Amino acid sequence: MKSILHITSGDCAGSSLEKSGLAGEVFVWHDILYEGPRRPGWPDERTLKDRARFLERSLAGGLSEAVLLEGLRKQYRRLAESGSHKNIVLWFDACLFDQSMLAHILACLAHQGIRKADLLCVDAFPGIVPYHGLGQLMPDQLASVYGNRRPVTPAQFDYAIRVDQAFANRDQVLFSELAAQKNAPLPWMPAAISRWLQEKPDSATGLGRLEQLALNAIRAGHETPAAIFKAVAAADTPPQYWGDTTLWAKINGLADRRPPLVKIEGAAPRLPQWESPLDLNAFRIKPG
């Protein structure tokens, strides 16, 4: 059998894992599993095409639909082949982004008949405050927590399948039930789901929490993307589930509203995402 396969959610964490000295291969999963069209569990080809189209829009064209579709196909092919490894180790944070991804990956592993894996969910680390996630840890710090991994239990697999159904179907009743659950098999999931519920459009403003925090920062006079990011990060509560790509998408969405809530000034009508030749620092965002 192949060596250990480490699966994690972010390129920073993946890069540090590769330098940590831990044996095995590193597999970084890329997707936004709490948003967009999908089906519970293993996707069919139509679902992958729908997600690629959604992700292209979310990235403001930063990556093409064709590139995204091929990336998604490769991810699932690699996950299907993960059973050939001696062991699978899942490295995830306690935030909404990671917990929705964890639930989906566990549901997909179960679909493939793979119910043997270890889990490391690191929700705090000595000396790092505020702690948001694995991307903050150096390679030696990641190696130091490796001994804390625990086998994923049958109850955790079954619970993850249920959570994945809630995210895929946007089941508000099930979400409310899961958010209120005590002693959940995956103990970080209720708080992550509660954070997702805060992203529901407010009845008065029509904005989710992250959109409102971004708008507050812009109205307070923060004009550059970097300044807005810093202000929103300070106003939100850890663990932070979003990164720059997500925040830029929210700001672009504020500019797309009718009437627009913000104005984006720069070399393009919307903030560029992913790899772009445009200088992000040259953009200015002002109240609409």
* pLDDT tens digits, one per residue of 185-220: 999 999 999 999 999 999 999 999 999 999 999 999
Asked if the model's pLDDT at residue 273 lies above 80, the reply is: no
Residues 150 and 251 both lie in one domain: no
Instruction: Round the average pLDDT of the chain to a whole number and report it.
Output: 95
φ and ψ of 2, to 5 deg: -70, 170
Question: Residue 58: what pLDDT?
Answer: 81
Number of domains present in the structure of the chain: 2
Residue 171 sits in the same domain as residue 229 = no
Q: Is there a single domain that holds both residue 29 and residue 115?
A: yes
Q: Please, is 47 exposed, middle or buried when counting C-beta atoms within 10 Å of its C-beta (0-12, 13-18, 19+)?
A: middle
**44 and 139 share one domain:** yes
Asked whether residue 127 falls in the same domain as residue 44, the answer is yes
Calculate what percentage of the chain has a pLDDT beyond 90: 92
Q: Are residues 71 and 138 in the same domain?
A: yes
Under the banding of pLDDT at 50, 70 and 90, the label for residue 1 is low
- Whether 172 and 47 map to the same domain: the answer is yes
Of 208, 206, 282, 204, whose CA–CA distance to 249 is shortest?
A: 208
Domain span holding position 49: 5-188
CATH number of the domain enclosing 39: 3.40.50.670
Let me know whether 176 and 64 are in one domain. Answer: yes
Question: In this structure, are 53 and 133 located in the same domain?
Answer: yes
Q: Are residues 182 and 268 in the same domain?
A: no
Look up residue 117 and give its amino acid.
Answer: A
